[in-house]
Amino acid sequence: MTADTHATTEYEVAQLLVDALHLEMTAEEIQPEEPLFGEGLGLDSIDALEIALAISRTYGFELRSEEGRTHQVFASLRNLTRYIETHRTK
Amino acid sequence: MGGAASYRLVPRSADEVVFRLEGLAITAAMFLDMARTLANELPDGRFVVNLCNDRLDFAVGLAAALMRNQVNLLTSDRSPERLRSLQKRYPDVYSLSDDPALTSPLRHYHHCAQPPRPSSLQLENPQIAAGRLAAIVFTSGSTGVPMAHEKSWGALVERSVDAAARFDMTQSEPANIVGMVPPQHMYGFETTVLLPLHVPASAWCGPAFYPEDVASALHAVPAPRVLVTTPLQIRALLQAWAELAPLERVISATAPLFADMATAAEERWNTRVFEIFGATEVGSIASRRTVEGDIWTNYPRVRLTEDAVVNGPFAVPHALSDVVEMLDGRHFRLLGRRADLVKLAGRRASLAELNRILTGITGVLDGQFVVPADLDRRPTARLLAFVVAPERSAHEIMADLRGQIDPPFLPRRVIRVDELPRNDVGKLTEQALGALRSSLNEA
């Protein structure tokens, strides 16, 4: 993370989800603790792939499947934001 | 027809590699040992729903069930509703999974395959009759009851042999497959589980979901490498930065691959891109190299009749639900699919059935699913649903739909309206729905 990168906000990641997936909702409507997949936002595995592409474009790192971690990363907007914050390169 | 009346579970030499993980090659002997170990532990029952996520766990589960004379039920839809409907039909069914977080409404057995130590190897490789029912694969029916498609062992084995001939998988050059499709899907089942069991090929069992996973997986397996994937995943791989190890071949299925994307993939990875044509009911039946045109060539021993009935060794004849133009006995062109069918994420649903579920929800007086026109081209395109439900919120309706509908077909948005613009005979025309949508967008 470079010095001039600001901290990743939940709003910014919510906006990335809305844009990448063309969700018919606003970023404010995504609840930080609500599950993104299944219950909650109801995203599926194709969406996960799209989110991964958007993340690599915006934040400069590639998502990988990690033993048992993938579910955790996508568990909620809050978790995803935290994950991006610790892995981003731009 | 193939002459043999039975086939070995794994008709390969003991030391041939059937599955691969990072730093580990699972030979036929090791695989059979793992299957025997699990077979000794499996519960009694004639049917097992194999829900394992990991490809190796799935394959070991499949083989163990066959050793125990059990029939594998394969369903992509793992909603409690679907599992309960399977139980109604197969009362003694139990579920098998490697996911500790899975809650199954069925009698459940948890397993996670551990590679055996070489010293404990036991080599039991049973003969299985060609006509024996090995697996049942399900599609969503138009009446709410899942449609069962029975696969005999002989049909599965012979189709693998056909695929190996088509894709040059030979004893001297066994293919190393990295598959991005789940094993419960007929396409993934055939290409990443059955091929390595029956023909000279191995399949990768580590992660292969994100582009970065796939790049690592391809580096981890020897040449010749075959990537088994889908159009959406090819698109993601082309957009990612990942460098791929030399690829002998890319195989795509589940949705049409557009020629420009096939060309881009062939150039970027210096490879050849093929598509398989098939359906859950009949499995893989034909292939084409996408850049060469729109004509499909049948697998060597698959025959299509004039009215598109598929015949193959030991397989139940089945009429395709797609509209095809027969060119000769071995070639055909696809003209389209039935209007009622929606395909998403490699799965099919019937619109009539989705609408039936929607209008069956408490408080929903009328309802209709709408398919966006660019569903095949836009990866993020999903269905919408219009409902007349004065007493219920969109949120509550979504909650009720979950558990009844396979997730990819859940509407991205539930739109409440005062009434649906049905015509005199109660039909909703595309035009009327289009007008309704644009009036909402303007509001």
End-to-end CA distance of chain B: 63
Partner residue facing A44 (CB), from B213, B378, B407: B407
The predicted model scores a pTM of 0.83
Element (H, E) at B431: helix B430-442
Q: What are residue B97's DSSP bridge partners?
A: B110
Contact B402 A39 (CB under 8 A): yes
Q: Which of B277, B174, B161, B275 is nearest to B229 (CA)?
A: B275
- 0.85 surpassed by complex ipTM: no
Q: Going residue by residue through chain B (443 aa), what tens digit of pLDDT does each one get? A: 445 599 999 999 999 999 999 999 999 999 999 999 999 999 999 999 999 999 999 999 999 999 999 999 999 888 888 899 999 999 999 999 998 888 889 999 998 888 777 666 767 899 999 999 999 998 865 555 678 999 999 999 999 999 999 999 999 999 999 999 999 999 999 999 999 999 999 999 999 999 999 999 999 999 999 999 998 899 899 988 778 999 999 999 988 888 999 999 999 999 999 999 998 899 999 999 999 999 999 999 999 988 888 999 999 898 887 888 889 889 999 887 666 778 887 777 888 888 888 988 999 989 999 888 777 777 778 898 999 999 999 888 988 888 788 888 888 888 899 888 887 777 777 778 878 877 776 54
Nearest CA in chain A to B230: A46
| Average predicted confidence (pLDDT) for chain B | 89
Neighbours of B89 (CB within 10 A): 14
What is the rounded CA–CA span in Å between residue B70 and residue B135? 9
CB–CB of B375/B352 below 8 Å?
A: no
Q: Is A4 in CB contact (< 8 Å) with chain B?
A: no
Nearest CA in chain A to B207: A65
Nearest CA in chain B to A62: B212
Nearest CA in chain B to A22: B380
- Nearest CA distance, A52 vs chain B (angstrom): 7
Contact A38 B402 (CB under 8 A): yes
pLDDT score, position A2: 45
Partner residue facing B402 (CB), from A24, A25, A42: A42
Note the pLDDT tens digit of each residue in B127-167: 999 999 999 998 865 555 678 999 999 999 999 999 999 99
What is the rounded CA–CA span in Å between residue A33 and residue A76? 5
DSSP A2: -
Neighbours of B46 (CB within 10 A): 15
What is the rounded CA–CA span in Å between residue B356 and residue B353? 5
Q: Quickly tell me which residue has 């109604």 as its tokens.
A: B88
| Maximum separation of any 2 CA atoms in chain A, in Å | 38
Q: Is A20 in CB contact (< 8 Å) with chain B?
A: yes
* Tokens standing for residue B297: 């060539």
Partner residue facing B236 (CB), from A23, A53, A65: A53
Note the pLDDT tens digit of each residue in B291-309: 999 999 999 999 998 888 8
Note the pLDDT tens digit of each residue in A1-42: 444 456 778 999 999 999 888 777 789 988 899 888 866 666
Q: Determine the distance from the C-alpha atom of residue B293 to the mean position of all C-alpha atoms in its chain, rounded to a whole number.
A: 25
Partner residue facing A47 (CB), from B211, B380, B402: B380
